[in-house]
C-alpha cells in the first residue's frame, strides 16, 4: 500500500486497543456481586426455587408454563400436555431434574424413553426480580438455555 504512511497502521490500532481494554475493564467489575434489580443475584436464587414461570420455544412456537414446588418441576405446553420432573436442589442456584412423567405427544416414544433416563442439571442466573436465565447442563456441557419469566400470582 504505497499511499499509506508507514506509521498509519499502528496509529489506527491504538484507539481500537484502548477501547477494547476499557470495555473489558468495565465488564470485569470490582469483584463484588453485581446488583440485578433491588437485591443482589447471590441472595435472589431462592426467590425462584418455587413458583410459576414461562418461557418461549421457537422450534414449536409455544409458550411453556412451568410450575415448580420444592420437589417437582412441571412444564406445560397445554393443560393436558406436560413433562413432570422430580427435582433436588444441589445448592442455592442449581438443581437436578429427573423426568417422571411425559404426556406431551410432541415427543415420540423413543424420545420419551431417552428423556426419562436423562438426569439434567439446571443452573439459575438471576437477571432481575422477575426473570432468570436457566442453563441446562448435560454431560458437563451447556445443552440449552431459556429466559424464564415469573408469572404473577393472579395469572393461571
User: In the chain, how many domains are there?
Assistant: 1
Q: Domain of 112: which CATH number?
A: 2.40.128
Q: Is residue 117 part of a domain?
A: yes
Confidence of residue 12 (pLDDT cuts 50, 70, 90): very low
Q: Is residue 106 part of a domain?
A: yes
What's the predicted TM-score (pTM) here? 0.68
* 63-87 pLDDT per residue, tens: 999 999 999 999 999 999 999 999 9
Q: Is residue 87 part of a domain?
A: yes
Beta-sheet strands, E only, within 31-91: 35-36, 39-40, 51-57, 62-68, 72-76, 82-91
Residue 22, pLDDT score: 33
**Residue 91 lies in domain:** 36-150
pLDDT at position 151 over 60: yes
Q: Is residue 15 part of a domain?
A: no
The set of cell numbers assigned to 123 is 443452573
Q: Is residue 16 part of a domain?
A: no
Q: Is residue 1 part of a domain?
A: no
Amino acid at each position: 500500500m504505497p499511499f499509506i504512511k508507514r506509521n498509519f497502521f499502528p496509529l489506527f490500532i491504538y484507539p481500537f486497543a484502548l477501547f477494547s481494554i476499557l470495555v473489558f475493564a468495565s465488564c470485569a467489575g470490582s469483584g463484588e456481586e453485581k446488583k440485578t434489580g433491588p437485591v443482589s443475584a447471590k441472595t435472589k436464587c431462592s426467590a425462584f426455587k418455587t413458583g410459576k414461570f414461562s418461557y418461549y420455544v421457537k422450534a414449536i412456537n409455544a409458550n411453556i408454563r412451568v410450575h415448580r414446588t420444592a420437589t417437582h418441576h412441571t412444564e406445560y405446553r397445554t393443560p393436558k400436555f406436560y413433562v413432570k420432573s422430580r427435582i433436588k436442589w444441589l445448592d442455592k442456584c442449581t438443581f437436578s431434574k429427573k423426568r417422571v412423567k411425559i404426556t406431551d405427544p410432541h415427543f415420540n416414544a423413543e424420545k420419551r424413553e431417552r428423556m426419562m433416563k436423562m438426569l439434567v442439571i439446571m443452573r439459575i442466573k438471576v437477571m432481575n426480580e422477575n426473570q432468570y436465565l436457566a442453563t441446562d447442563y448435560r454431560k458437563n456441557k451447556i445443552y440449552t438455555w431459556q429466559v424464564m419469566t415469573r408469572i404473577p400470582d393472579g395469572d393461571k
